[in-house]
Structure 1
Amino acid sequence: MTDVKHMKWWGWGVEGVGFHHEDKPAFAPFVKKAVGLDVWQPAGEQPSFEDLDVPASQAPASLVQGLAAIVGEKQVVTDDLERVIHTYGKSIRDLMRVRAGILPRVPDVVVYPADEAESQRIVALAAQEDAVIIPFGGGSNISGSLEPEKGETRPVVSLDMGRQRRLLELDEGSGLARIQAGALGPDLEKQLNDRGWTIGHFPDSFTHSSLGGWVATRSSGAQSDKYGDIADIARGMRLVRPDGIAEIRAIPSASTGPSVREMIVGSEGRLGVISEVTVQVHRRPEERQIQAYFFPSFSAGLKAMHEISESDASPSITRVSDARESGFSLATSKESKGLSGAAQKGLMAFLKKRGWNLDELALSFIGYEGSPSHVRYQKRIVGKIVRKHGGLGVGAGPGALYDQKKFDTPYLRDFLLDRGAAADVSETAAPWSKLQDVYDTVVKAANGAYDSIGVSGWIMCHLSHSYRSGACLYFTFAFVTGEDKIAEYDVVKSAIQQSFIDAGGTLSHHHGVGVEHALWMEQDISPEGVAIMRGLLESADPQRILNPGKIITDVRVPEAR
């Protein structure tokens, strides 16, 4: 049996770790007010794998034997639990389906190659056997990029990259690191840190997502303002295909026709299996700080972030939450006692005395990295901009809390799902000139969707990444579900996605397309844009064996929308 570890089959993260609210006194009343849910009620029973009716493996003996000849018998698995773990990602739709035993098509076999050579032989064998290959990294995907197509009659192979997780080479003169694509965030960051370097890429899924998955979905991280999105960080890569390896060298810049590198980034397994990535890395900064700020409104915070993006400051993080998310962040904090508790109460009294409406308060986190003098320089610039827009700096204490909690948020979805509520996220990006309208349009659309299904719902938002021309808005939504959870979720999710397009945003900023967002591709990149992409995918994979059905779909968004 392989030694690769996976997240639990029914939820986020590892067994024994979860969200707890008992030490957060403001959380229960907050949730009760937001969606009418009493979190003190007993959670439902933990899902039992024995209750699932898992379809039998359809892998022919010739395929299983061929895979075993490549990687060894212990690295070829047809066990039901392993196959279910590799069926879905971790979106709320995925979790609702797997808990309910909705398994229309499960991978027939899971294989764990040790290196690129074995991966290439596996993909070649799949082409020979007319089997489907779905690459699997950490399993954290939330856009439906991992699930086999419903009705697929060919054998489905989940190619798990978990054994390929090493730093292979570090070119310190160029700041380039060659890393196997199966490395999870903590794997690769520790190997780099041990040599004094960092990749600077920290998505919320960092602890359970892989380098190859980041590239395959065009990931962004919490510090992308400074280090760039993964499309900026990934300079070279190697792609396993049925007939060989496509190699993109890590060249600073080139004029060599349409960029194949750009085609691979965001391809979600449709062009092949990413086996290695050469990434731009950086020396670990001398100093790192995350400072917290309050703004009198989300609108004021957006204007400040815009001006910061045009300034000489270069923060690693620029984040501001709307009033609803600010309230949520404060509600998930542990109880403050002694001096810190008194200081927080005093600050709120001070802001109220200044005329602030505390119900409109917007919490912001801004990160700084570099030499001590550079950090001081940036903080002075940002501080001046914050004050110009009516904001107030509140120090590094809340920033430390942000650092501690940033990878824990996904556990909250399981906590709510256990108690009959659904919570999920959707994100978009738009120009600065459209950002406020996008925000207003999405909130209105979500509330309209809640009304249409007769529930009390919640939607909150933060600006998570800033660019010179615009920014990403990251929305979280939640509601107490009824009998048809998935249908209700579809109503809300679809309303939010359509409102992104209607207001001038994109269907996704960093979670990818998969099947979850494919309906909106024509509206996002135009019918001719989809035609070009379809041509690329069909010519690159005429057998349709490389994760078919993702990104492009023949289904259309209903005209009624």
Structure 2
Amino acid sequence: MTDVKHMKWWGWGLEGVGFHFEDKPDFVPFVQKAVALDVRTPPVPPLDFDQLTIAPPRLSPSFEATLVAIVGEENAHTDDMVRVVHTYGKSIRDLLRIRRNEIARVPDIVVYPADEWDVQQIVDAAVAEGAVIIPFGGGSNIAGSLEPLPDETRTIVSLDLGRLDRVLEIDEGSGLARIQAGAQGPDIEAQLGAKGWTLGHFPDSFTHSTLGGWVATRSSGMQSDKYGDIADIARGLRMVRPGTIVELRPLPSTSTGPSVREMIIGSEGRLGVITEVTVQVHRVPEVREVQAYFFPNWKAGLAAMHEISESDASPSITRVSDARESGFSLATRKASKGISGAAQSVLMSVLKRRGWVLEDMCLSFIGYEGSASHVSYEKKLVGAIVKKHGGLGVGKGPGALYDQKKFDTPYLRDFLLDRGAAADVSETAAPWSKLQEVYDTTVAAADKAYEALGVHGWIMCHLSHSYHSGACLYFTFAFVHGDDPIAQYEVVKYSIQQAFQDAGGTLSHHHGVGVEHSPWMEQDISEGGVALIQGLFDSADPQHLFNPGKVLGTLQVTADDVAEIVANAPKAPAPAPAP
């Protein structure tokens, strides 16, 4: 049996780890106000695994024998649990379907290659068989980039790269590291950190996602302001294709025609199987700290982040939450006692005396890295900008808490699902001049969708990933669902995604396309752009064996289509008030 570890089949993360509210006194009233849900209601756990309906593998004995001969019996699996784990990612649609026993198609066999040669043999054998190949990293994707097409009749091979998890080489003179594509975030940082280096890439999914997955979906990390998105970090790579390997050397820059590297980054397995990536790495900084700030309102926070992006300061993190998300963050704090609790009360009193409306207050986190003198210099620059926009620094304490809890939020989604509420995220990017319009349009579209559904819904947002020309807006939304949760979810999700397009944003900043976002590709990159990508896929994979249906799907929507979906929204009964 392979020793590659996976997340639990029905939710995020590891068994035995979950969200708890008993030590967070403000959480119960906050959720009641936000979505009219009493979280003290006893949870309804997921189905037992043996209650799932799982079709048997569609796999010829000869092809199975070929794969077993390549990877060994212990690394080729057709048992139901392993196949189900490799069926979906962790989007809310994925979790709703798995909990409702809605599993249209599962992979027929899961294989764990030991090295690139194994991958090459698997790919060549699958192509000869006419079988579908779906590369699998950590299984954390939330855009539908992993699921088999429901009507797929060919054999499906899930090619799990979990055994390819090593840092192979560090070129210390160039700040480059060769890393196998199946290495997960913690493994990468542990191996690099042991030699004094860091990749600096920390997406929300860091603890359960892989380098290959980051490249395949064009990922961004929480510290991308300093280290760049994965497209900036990945300098070279190796990708297995039928009968050959694409090898791109880690050169600082080239002028060699259309960028093959850029074709592969974000291709979501449609062109081949990424086995190795050469990335730029950095020495572990002398000082790393995250400072917290309060702004009197969202407008002031946005203006401050914009000015910071144009200044001589170069923080690793620039993040500000709107008033709703700030309220959520404060509601998930543990109870404060003694000096800490008194200090919070004093601070709130001071802000009130300054004329702040506490319900409009916005929480910001800004990260600094480098030498002690450099960090001190940047903090002074940022502090002056924050003050100019009416903000107030509140020290490292809240920032340290953010740093500790930054990877825990996905567990809250399972907690809410157990209690009949759906929560998900959508993120976009837009120029600075359009950010407020994107924000206003998206919040209004979500509220209209909630009204159409007849539910008490919630949407909140933070700005992150600042660039010279714009930034990312990351929205979280939630509502108590009825008997048809996926149809209700689509009303909200489609409304939000269309709002991005209507206001000048992109369909996704860093979660990728998959099948969740593919209906907006034509609106996002134009009909001509879609034709170019389709031509690339058709030429590189004429049989459509590599992860078919991702990035470009059969459905393209318009604003009128989304308006009709909202108009025909399935009404949900209003939730009963809390006792």
TM bin (shorter chain): over 0.9
Report the 3-state secondary structure (helix = DSSP H, G, I; strand = E; otherwise coil) of the residue aligned with 1:134.
strand
Distance 1:140 1:28 in 2: 28
Residue identity in the other structure for 1:42: P
* Structure 1 residue 47: Cα displacement: 2.5
1:326 is matched with: 326
Kept after mapping to 1: 8 A contact 2:46/2:99: no
Aligned to 1:171: 171
Percentage of pairs with the same residue: 72
Length, aligned pairs only? 561
Structure 1 position 555, deviation (Å): 1.5
Query: Taking structure 2 as the reference length, what is the TM-score of the superposition?
Result: 0.96
CA distance in 2, matches of 1:326, 1:63: 54
Tell me, in whole angstroms, the C-alpha distance in 2 between the residues paired with 1:299 and 1:540.
47
CA contact (8 A) 2:519 2:555 kept: yes
In the TM superposition, 1:107-126 aligns within 5 A as: 107-126=107-126
Rounded Cα–Cα distance in structure 1 between residues aligned with 2:381 and 2:537: 47
Q: Is the 8 A contact 2:518 2:556 kept in 1?
A: no
Q: C-alpha deviations, 1:505-536, integer Å up to 9, x for none?
A: 00000000000000000000000000000000
- In 1, Cα distance between equivalents of 2:346 and 2:64: 67
User: Which residue identity does 1:531 align to in structure 2?
Assistant: A
User: Over residues 54-111 of structure 1, what are the superposed CA-to-partner deviations in whole Å (9 max), with x where a residue is unaligned?
Assistant: 1111011111111011111111000001000000000111000011111111000000
Structure 2 residue matching 1:363: 3-state secondary structure: strand
Aligned equivalent of 1:59:
59
Q: Which residue of 2 aligns with 1:371?
A: 371
Matches within 5 A, 1:221-232: 221-232=221-232
Q: Separation in 2 of the partners of 1:317 and 1:555? A: 36
Distance in 1 of aligned mates of 2:136 and 2:191:
22
Q: CA deviation at 1:560?
A: 3.6
| Partner Cα separation in structure 1 for residue 447 and residue 338 of structure 2 | 40
Q: What per-residue deviation string (whole Å, max 9, x for no partner) do you get for residues 9-62 of structure 1?
A: 000000000000000000011000100100111111343101101111101111
Once the two structures are superposed, the pairs formed by residues 64-83 of structure 1 within 5 Å of their partners are 64-83=64-83
The equivalences for 1:352-501 within 5 A come to: 352-501=352-501
Task: Confirm or deny: 8 A CA contact 2:429 2:470 kept in the other structure.
Answer: yes
Partners of 2:312 and 2:63 in 1: how far apart?
58
Structure 1 CA distance for aligned equivalents of residues 172 and 47 of structure 2? 48
Q: How far apart, in 2, do the equivalents of 1:72 and 1:444 lie?
A: 55
Structure 1 segment 156-555 matched on structure 2, within 5 A: 156-555=156-555
SS, match of residue 178 in structure 1? strand
Whole-angstrom CA distance in 1 between matches of 2:441 and 2:371? 41
Q: Which amino acid in the other structure matches residue 395 of structure 1?
A: G
Matched with 1:38 is 38
Could you tell me how far apart the structure 2 residues matched to 1:150 and 1:259 are?
A: 33
AA aligned to 1:195 is K
Distance 2:344 2:106 in 1: 51
Deviations 1:477-530 (A, max 9, x none): 000000100000000000000000000000000000000000000000000000
For residue 507 of structure 1, give the secondary structure of its aligned residue in structure 2.
Answer: coil
SS, match of residue 142 in structure 1: coil
Please give the per-residue CA displacement for 1:395-433, whole angstroms capped at 9, x wherever unaligned.
000000000110000000000000000000000000000
Aligned counterparts of 2:413 and 2:91: Cα–Cα separation in 1: 9
Query: Aligned-pair distance for 1:150?
Result: 1.3
8 A Cα contact 2:304 2:386, kept in partner: yes
The letter for the 2-side match of 1:102 is E
Q: Distance in 1 between matches of 2:63 and 2:450?
A: 48
Equivalent-residue separation in structure 2 for 1:431 and 1:22 (angstroms): 41
How many Å separate the matches in 1 of 2:444 and 2:361?
A: 20
1:257 deviates by 0.3
* Residues 1:86 and 2:86 aligned together: yes
Q: Distance in 2 between matches of 1:331 and 1:65?
A: 55
CA–CA separation in structure 1 for the residues paired with 2:108 and 2:517: 26
Could you give the per-residue CA deviations for residues 128-169 of structure 1, whole angstroms, max 9, x where no partner exists?
000000000000000000000111000000000000000000
Q: 2:231 & 2:543 partners in 1: Cα distance? A: 28
CA deviation after TM superposition for structure 1 residue 125, in Å: 0.5
Match of 2:445, SS? helix
Deviations 1:226-279 (A, max 9, x none): 000000000000001112100011000000000000000000000000000000
Please report the RMSD computed on the Cα atoms of aligned residues, expressed in angstroms: 0.6
Q: State the distance in 2 between where 1:102 and 1:45 align.
A: 16
- Whether the aligned pair in 1 keeps the contact of 2:442 and 2:500 (CA below 8 Å) is yes
Unpaired stretches in structure 1, ≥5 consecutive residues = none
TM-aligned CA deviation for residue 205 of structure 1: 0.4
Q: Partner amino acid for 1:548?
A: P
Unaligned runs of 5+ in 2: 563-579
The secondary structure found in structure 1 opposite 2:178 is strand
Measured in 1, the distance between the counterparts of 2:207 and 2:80 equals: 25
TM-score by length of 1: 1.00
Structure 2 distance, partners of 1:56, 1:176, is: 45
For residue 461 of structure 1, report the CA deviation from its aligned partner.
Answer: 0.2
Tell me the secondary structure at the aligned position of residue 74 of structure 1: helix
CA drift at 1:313: 0.2
SS of residue in 1 equivalent to 2:133: strand
Q: CA deviation at 1:556?
A: 2.1
